[in-house]
Structures are given as structure tokens and as C-alpha cells.
Amino acid sequence: MANNFSEAAKKVLGRAELEARDLHHEYVGTEHILLGLIQIGSAIVIDAFKTLGIAAAEVRQEIERLAQRGPKRIATGALPMTTRAQRAIEFACDEAAFMNVPSIDPEHLLLGLYREREGVAPRVLQNLGQHIGQVIEGVFRNFRERMQLVERAVGPVPAGTAWKQDAREELFAHLTAIYSEEYERLHNPAAAMKEAASRFGDPSELAQELAAVLPVSERRRRYVENWFGWRAPESAAQFMFRQSLQSFIILAVVCFVSIGATAYFSGWRGVSWEIVRTTAAVLTFMPTVQFVLGLLYYKTRDALYGPIWSSKSLSRVILCILLIIAVTFIGGISFVATTTWNCARVAQSLLPMCAIALVVAATEYELAQYRGLREIRETLWACLNTK
């Protein structure tokens, strides 16, 4: 994990350890990382603290009041991190992954401190009459403005989700490079953002240019996704309900056409009670199981990656997997029981249904691992307020 930290972030963590030693603390906590960010974080982070009037001396004094200075100087050797500091760094790594950037920067460390709400760092700022959320707002104002500028250009393009996400990331990287050049020249975040936006161009014109070279296949894909894909800002429950309802309608049409065809060619006597039971089971169990398994997939994904509205949890991942197995098994056995009305057939299906349930659970877990981060990024972009 250390290899993913930028040089600036490594310096912040190194300074955090020095601050812990100066305070005679035997550990590195969130409060020491906060001190490191205030003093040698990136220029944008330092500017945000200065704008709010947060000084390192005041923060250090408040830390001494809360945690107290240790009785003696700490011997040489690396200091261990507290559990909360480790979680804050894990959150920082997550934030860098969600933003799809190659390294963890001081800005991500600050976000990590924000998400680790039980740490000493947020309490220190609160006692000083500030809130870490205000610092976050100052640091990421330009970041959000860059995202909004890109989304105004990409959002109106009638393309598929995958194409849009690739275009967003490419344009955002281009705009960020421009912003960095302007910031190095002007040393003013607001002025640098204004110049970068001017060089980037009019988003509506860029959207028209992108739409003009869009392949026909992407337009078709967008049309299909409008019907069957996720629509921002739907919740997971709303999306799965719509998908389950669509499945119910499609299955109902297929089943009733099949029954109608059987009645036409063989007469209504050809429509057996078994066909009616099977139709009822298909229309009842399949959309219901699809809805529940879909919800459990998103719960598994969020527990794996811990987006900002959730948190990582191995226990929740395991619970979701067990629920997927249970839902698949119970739904499958219920389907067999309804369609066959035969206890012997139900007993014979127990072992195969266990295997099917395990395969479904493994598949959903692998999909969550493979697609999870990209889906979360797509959700963040699609739900972005561009006004």
C-alpha cells in the first residue's frame, strides 16, 4: 500500500510520526496526521486550513489538552499507528480508488480523516470551532467544479454507460492537467480553475462534437440502457423493482402466449394443471428472487468497497453471501415444489439446488469484485449535480 502514496502524502505521514515523537506519544493517531496535513500537505490543503484560520500551534495545543504530552521521549524505531489512523488511511486508499487516480495524495488523507469520524482529529477541529467538513469543502471545491465541467460535456451525449465513463475519465485527466499547470503559474485555486475552464472550452459545444463522432452502436446501446439499465438517481431498490417488473411482464407475455398456442392447437383440454402451476411459479418466484438477489448484490458490493455512504465490512460480506445462498436455495426448492407437487422430486432436488445456490453466490461475489469500483464511480458521476 505504501507504494501507492505520492511523495507529498509520504511526507505528511513522516511528519505525523515526528509530531507524535515531539508530543512523547507512543503511537501515530489521526491527530498527528492532521498536524502533518496542516504543515506540509499539498498547497490546496494548506490553503484550505489557512482560509479557515486553523493554525498548527492551536491544533497542537488542543491535542495536548485532549491526549496530554507523554512523560518521556520515545526511543528510536517506527511508531505503530492506532486502529483509527489505520482505518483513516484505508479510507484514503478507497477514495483514491473511487476517483480512479494513480496515487494517494494529501487530499485523500484528509478525506480519510473525515470518514473516520471517531478519531481525535475531527474532535480537535470541533473544539477549535471548526468542522473537518468545512476543510473538505475548501479542498474539493475545485475538484467538484472540474467534475461538473466534464459531466456537462459528457452527460448529454446519447451513449452507453461504459463509453461515457471512459470519456469522463479521459476528459477529467486532461482538465486536471490543465488545472495543475494554471495552479503552478497562479498559485490561486479559484483563478487557476477559471483559466482551466476557459482552456477546456464550452461544455455544450464539446458535447455536440462528441455526439457528432459517436458510433451508431453506442446510440443503440443507450436506447437499450434507458429501458433496462440503471437510471440516475435511482436507488438499488428502485432499480431492482423496475427490473423485476420488466422480467414479470416479459415472462407473463411468454407464458400466456405459450398457453394460448397450446389451447389453439390442442384445445383447452391440452392445458394441464401442471402447465398452470408452472406458469404461476415462474411469475411468482423468478421476479421475486431476482429482486432480492439484486439487492443483496449491491449490499455485497458496498460492503466490499465501502463507498462514502457506507463502510467496508467483512462480516456484512459474509452475511450477504449466506443470504444469497439461502434465497437461491429456498426459491429453487419452492419452485420445484410448486411445479411438481411431489415430495420425492423435491427431495431429489435438494443437493443440486445446494450446488446451484453456491454457484450463484460465488458468481455474485466475483461480479461485485470485478465490477464494483467502476459501478461506484459511474454512480458518483451520474448523480453529480451539474448546476
Q: Pull the grid cell for residue 91.
A: 479510507
pLDDT digits (tens, 9 = 90+) for 313-337: 899 999 999 999 999 999 999 999 9
Per cent of the chain over pLDDT 70 is 97
In this structure, of 104-108, 131-135, 170-174, the range with the lowest mean pLDDT score is 131-135
Right CATH number for 2-130 from 3.60.20.10, 1.10.1780.10, 3.40.605.10, 1.10.1660.10?
1.10.1780.10
Note the pLDDT of residue 1.
Answer: 45
Note the pLDDT of residue 140.
Answer: 80
In this structure, of 201-205, 275-279, 353-357, the range with the lowest mean pLDDT score is 275-279
Note the pLDDT of residue 66.
Answer: 84
Separation between Cα atoms, residue 300 and residue 317, nearest integer Å: 5
Task: Specify the higher pLDDT residue, 203 or 130.
Answer: 203
Q: Do 385 and 361 meet the contact criterion of CB atoms below 8 Å apart?
A: no
In this structure, of 102-106, 225-229, 263-267, the range with the lowest mean pLDDT score is 263-267
Rounded to an integer, the average pLDDT of 112-126 is 85
Separation between Cα atoms, residue 105 and residue 115, nearest integer Å: 16
Rounded to an integer, the average pLDDT of 114-139 is 82
Please name which of 210, 218, 217, 216 lies closest in space to residue 153, comparing C-alpha atoms: 210
Q: Pull the grid cell for residue 346.
A: 423435491
Residues contacting residue 126 through CB under 8 Å, at least 6 positions apart: none
Please name which of 28, 10, 89 lies closest in space to residue 312, comparing C-alpha atoms: 89
Q: How far is CA 43 from the centre of its chain?
A: 27
Cα 177 to Cα 126, 128, 146, 171, distances in angstroms: 35, 35, 11, 10
pLDDT digits (tens, 9 = 90+) for 328-376: 999 999 999 998 888 898 999 999 999 999 999 999 999 999 999 888 8
Q: Do 142 and 193 meet the contact criterion of CB atoms below 8 Å apart?
A: yes
DSSP character string of 111-122: HHHHH-TTSHHH
Q: How far is CA 299 from the centre of its chain?
A: 11
Separation between Cα atoms, residue 232 and residue 220, nearest integer Å: 19
SS3 37: helix
Residue 131 — pLDDT band, cuts 50, 70, 90? confident
The residue type found at 229 is: G
Per cent of the chain over pLDDT 90 is 43
Residue 260 — pLDDT band, cuts 50, 70, 90? confident
Note the pLDDT of residue 271.
Answer: 60
Note the pLDDT of residue 69.
Answer: 77
Name the segment(s) of the chain with CATH classification 1.10.1780.10.
Answer: 2-130
The residue type found at 281 is: A
Phi/psi of residue 28, each to 5°?
A: -110, 115
Q: Pull the grid cell for residue 256.
A: 400466456
Q: Do 19 and 32 meet the contact criterion of CB atoms below 8 Å apart?
A: yes
Rounded to an integer, the average pLDDT of 90-97 is 86
Note the pLDDT of residue 32.
Answer: 92
pLDDT digits (tens, 9 = 90+) for 140-182: 888 888 899 999 999 999 999 889 989 998 999 899 889 888 8
How many Cβ atoms from other residues are within 10 Å of residue 170's Cβ?
12
Separation between Cα atoms, residue 114 and residue 376, nearest integer Å: 19
SS3 28: strand
Note the pLDDT of residue 210.
Answer: 93
Q: How far is CA 41 from the centre of its chain?
A: 25
